[in-house]
Structure 1
């Protein structure tokens, strides 16, 4: 039995629902009538015509039409090529179910390459090669991080959401699929003593480098934001820094983009930081003059390496230099931890949550700040309770 179901919206081919009924007797004819009624009901119930295109095709169409920031797109493509396409690429988009997705997530949490559990060699080179020289090793299952599995889910959901909007499927199975739980943030800022050692060492290495580390430590700016900072956004008289953009590099090409939350914010500077920036500005102007370059208020505060004054300090280079400096000091940390340091020190000092969130550039009116720094907020709340209690009139003991 065949029932016309419409036209594939992508391929333009006619679609038929079919089911075989065996037999030639009267009972078979009755069964055939029931099957025909059932198939017709399926066609009538369809909210949109189904499509036979593969999930891989849907991915390509989504990537072609979606408005995704270049560095984010680069990360998405990595997940797609390594994980999503090999697992689901050949499956018709109309056949994907929540169970398919949850099965994939379970496999990734067991082994990121989704091995079958049988021993094999992880070859480090293609074709014929010497495994010893290529350092090939027996495969060891390594689970994909929860955050990475959630990212895979987010990409799949985006593709299926587009397929739903385009009437390729009637609903998005990713909306009902159970995704991995979000691991609570665990910020690990350096201690005040470690922070002091780090900033002292930074100034020993280079006054400009020391100023950069100091600025990140006192403002909580993101790495890309401090690299994108221009003098026109620094008001030394008012002691204010305007954060309007972030700098990123992709395949060696740098560009400015919006901040992570796509919002501008103003951060107040303390007196010592203002003095350091004023001295740094003077040194920058002298360096430009020595090299015969034109300095302007639109120049970057922290310029690129090797005398390239038209480009900012590369974000990756900033992180690598900071990591090496910390390692030499015997401190296990990274640049982003300075952002945590700034936040936790302010919260511990009793600064209100909304102010801290504003300095960090967190959205949601402090919800993100509270989620990430819940322990320090609780400590500040305890301190506030003790302060209030100490100001209350003392009650005499009834005994």
Structure 2
């Protein structure tokens, strides 16, 4: 009966012999060897040398173990660096983007995470060295230094790369699988605008010349009427608007891709492609724009040259329009503080470094786009060698700038708050979560419920329902 072959990646018995002796015949070098069955099925002799028999055998054991790791199937081995694995993962993701199965903006996000966090932390390790404890430590550090959202992105990237390593045969188990999930409280709970705030927002934008020039009043009206994302709103063409039927077709979104510029791409899921009916007040706005003259292949909300607008720039314009300038008093105070800084010959960076503040904070103060109080200004001007209590004109400026204004109530609003407002309004009108998700273009109802519907503090109807359900006149 023939002997069964060695399993792939294993070796037979080790034999050791004297390789070299000195002039007196004393062994000074040993050779250990064993037969090893490689991944291609061929059996080869592997040797190692040592000054003693034990050293030679130990060296051979190490070489055999390394060979077992590096002869697994696929294009990767445990001895490859994680940098190489990340290159392969990026190339695979690029192919998915080219096939339309992944978003190019996701690729940009992942590339930033890889460049700034994953490669510096893990890139030089071998794949076989990427253990669960080591990855867990890296992700925990990223969460501390860069925040939970960035840590979640890095965890997803590392998990995807290690999944690729498993598929290519470099490792047998994804080490990220046992890493703790990243939990964090959102900075702010889902919040939608009240009816009063919507009215105030629309009045505020219509009264702001810069906001009107940026076409924000009509754009916010459209977003409130549809609940679409800002990129989707900017991608709508006139050919997709039916003023007679009162509908708009949502099929694309505008994104900026590094190296490619602005792109009009299909929505990220099939649920995002939808036909929406418009309320009369939104139709009136669109009819007014239509009457001014349009071309059917032009965007509804075009830039000054008739092309597509950058969502990032539009968000910035909205933030600027809603920044808590409130009154000229804050702007005047900012100009006074800037003049005092320049008198000292200090730059914003020098002031920020001295106070351990972000440099942007100095800029916001000097442009009047941050609410200030007595303590904040006192701390700042101390750097300029000024005691606020002794500077009466500046004290008066601070007093005026610290007064609340009506527009302060709008400073928290971002473009997604409009989307949440639409969802909450539909919720309060009795629409189901599925109907609202379809309006927003979301495949998962749970996301609509958890993120986009404003939570009501109280439900008076619940007491009435329970009253009717369990009231028993026979009980006291």
Both proteins in one fold, TM over 0.5: yes
8 Å CA contact 1:5–1:17 kept in 2: the answer is no
User: What does residue 281 of structure 1 align with?
Assistant: 290
User: What does residue 53 of structure 1 align with?
Assistant: 80
Structure 2 SS opposite 1:337: helix
2:340 is the alignment partner of 1:338 = no
User: What does residue 193 of structure 1 align with?
Assistant: 196
Q: Distance in 1 between matches of 2:139 and 2:109?
A: 18
User: What does residue 303 of structure 1 align with?
Assistant: 302
Q: Distance in 1 between matches of 2:169 and 2:418?
A: 47
Q: How many residues align?
A: 341
Structure 2 length-normalised TM: 0.62
2:219 is the alignment partner of 1:219 = no
Q: Distance in 1 between matches of 2:441 and 2:246?
A: 18
1:290-333 CA deviation, whole Å, 9 max, x = no partner? xxxxx22x22111113xx11x12321221112111112432222
Counterparts in 2 of 1:91 and 1:7: CA distance versus 1, 3 Å: farther
Runs of 5+ unmatched residues, structure 2: 1-31, 98-102, 326-406
8 Å CA contact 1:211–1:280 kept in 2: the answer is no
Counterparts in 2 of 1:151 and 1:20: CA distance versus 1, 3 Å: farther
Q: Distance in 1 between matches of 2:180 and 2:45?
A: 32
Structure whose CA Rg is larger: 2
Of the three residues 258, 265, 270, the one matched with 1:257 is 265
1:202-226 CA deviation, whole Å, 9 max, x = no partner? 3344395322111111211101000
User: What does residue 321 of structure 1 align with?
Assistant: 317
The Cα of 1:5 is off from its aligned counterpart by 6.6
What RMSD, in angstroms, separates the aligned Cα atoms of the two structures? 3.8
8 Å CA contact 2:252–2:266 kept in 1: the answer is yes
Q: Distance in 1 between matches of 2:270 and 2:44?
A: 45
Runs of 5+ unmatched residues, structure 1: 9-13, 111-142, 289-294
8 Å CA contact 1:7–1:15 kept in 2: the answer is no
1:258-315 CA deviation, whole Å, 9 max, x = no partner? 22334311222112211221112112x1xx5xxxxxx22x22111113xx11x12321
Structure 1 length-normalised TM: 0.73
Counterparts in 2 of 1:19 and 1:335: CA distance versus 1, 3 Å: farther
8 Å CA contact 2:420–2:454 kept in 1: the answer is no
8 Å CA contact 1:146–1:183 kept in 2: the answer is no
1:54-102 CA deviation, whole Å, 9 max, x = no partner? 0001111211222243222222121111111111110011221111110
Counterparts in 2 of 1:279 and 1:397: CA distance versus 1, 3 Å: farther
Question: Which aligned pairs between 1:34-113 and structure 2 lie closer than 5 A?
Answer: 43=68, 48=73, 50-66=77-93, 67-68=96-97, 69-110=103-144
Counterparts in 2 of 1:390 and 1:17: CA distance versus 1, 3 Å: farther
